[in-house]
Amino acid sequence: AQSVTQLDSQVPVFEEAPVELRCNYSSSVSVYLFWYVQYPNQGLQLLLKYLSGSTLVKGINGFEAEFNKSQTSFHLRKPSVHISDTAEYFCAVSDGGDDKIIFGKGTRLHILP
Amino acid sequence: DAGVIQSPRHEVTEMGQEVTLRCKPISGHNSLFWYRQTMMRGLELLIYFNNNVPIDDSGMPEDRFSAKMPNASFSTLKIQPSEPRDSAVYFCASSWTSDLATQYFGPGTRLLVL
């Protein structure tokens, strides 16, 4: 069965600094990969997804992620964070064609003034 | 579009009581998912429906939990009897079958069982 590991439970970063949130998944022949964001007291919202094609995926709010098959990673990056990016970020995976999405435990991003 | 609608947003109940959580998916979506989120276990898939039919309920923790989808625009998740360990945030999400990769989440129901 697929699994996702988010290596950091919390990441503090200063405003306007770059950030990388790490995600590794268990290997499979064909995977779909996602990043979701959860703002305080809200449901999850899709940031970006990788299904196939270019390994660099751009999402909303200036975020991007890179699919690295050899390292089974799908790290999320933003070159300059804003206070409004304070949220919890979830990496998720599904087997290509499978209905189910498996979520990681989440990484809480703290933006420091 | 209104998005996924869940009710109630907050529920406080006593152990042993029946709890019913409700979800209205986005119009036109034909897949619906129920998740539970806790600090200890993170986000867990409980059950999902496709065209109102339960496809996978392997995540339902025990017989106290049941879910129904009587039509395309309504689903319920029932806990009977409730226990303190059921305290969590319960999310409903929906998607199109042609794009299962993108799920739209509701705001969640925060359940506290005393």
Res B71: pLDDT: 94
Res B100: pLDDT: 66
Distance from C-alpha of A18 to C-alpha of A40, rounded to nearest angstrom = 22
Distance from C-alpha of A83 to C-alpha of A16, rounded to nearest angstrom = 9
pLDDT in tens, A33-72: 999 999 988 889 999 999 888 899 999 999 999 999 999 9
* Contact between chains at B42 and A94 (C-beta distance less than 8 A): no
**Res A97 pLDDT > 70:** no
Res A58: pLDDT: 95
Write out the E strands in chain A: 4-5, 10-14, 19-21, 24-25, 31-38, 44-50, 56-58, 64-68, 73-78, 87-95, 102-103, 107-112
On chain A, the residues whose CB falls within 8 A of the CB of B48 are: 99-100
Option in B31, B50, B102 nearest A46 (CB): B102
Res A53: pLDDT: 86
Question: By the CB < 8 Å criterion, does B103 face chain A?
Answer: yes
Confidence of residue A98 (pLDDT cuts 50, 70, 90): low
Full 3-state SS string of B18-82? CEEEEEECCCCCCEEEEEEEECCCEEEEEEEEECCEEEECCCCCCCCEEEEEEECCEEEEEECCC
Confidence of residue B1 (pLDDT cuts 50, 70, 90): low
Range of lowest pLDDT (A86-95, B55-64, B96-105): B96-105
**Res B34 pLDDT > 70:** yes
Res A77: pLDDT: 98
Quote the percentage of chain B above a pLDDT of 70. 96
Mean residue pLDDT across chain B: 93
Mean residue pLDDT across chain A: 91
Option in A43, A102, A105 nearest B91 (CB): A43
Option in B31, B55, B105 nearest A44 (CB): B105
On chain A, the residues whose CB falls within 8 A of the CB of B25 are: none
* Contact between chains at B56 and A32 (C-beta distance less than 8 A): no
- Contacts of residue B98, Cβ cutoff 8 Å, sequence gap at least 6: none
Tell me which residues of chain A have a C-beta less than 8 Å from any C-beta of chain B: 32, 34, 36, 41-46, 49, 51, 90, 94, 99-106
Res A30: pLDDT: 78
Range of lowest pLDDT (A25-29, B22-26, B30-34): A25-29
Query: Which class for A90: exposed (0-12), middle (13-18), buried (19 or more C-beta within 10 A)?
Result: buried
Res A3: pLDDT: 87
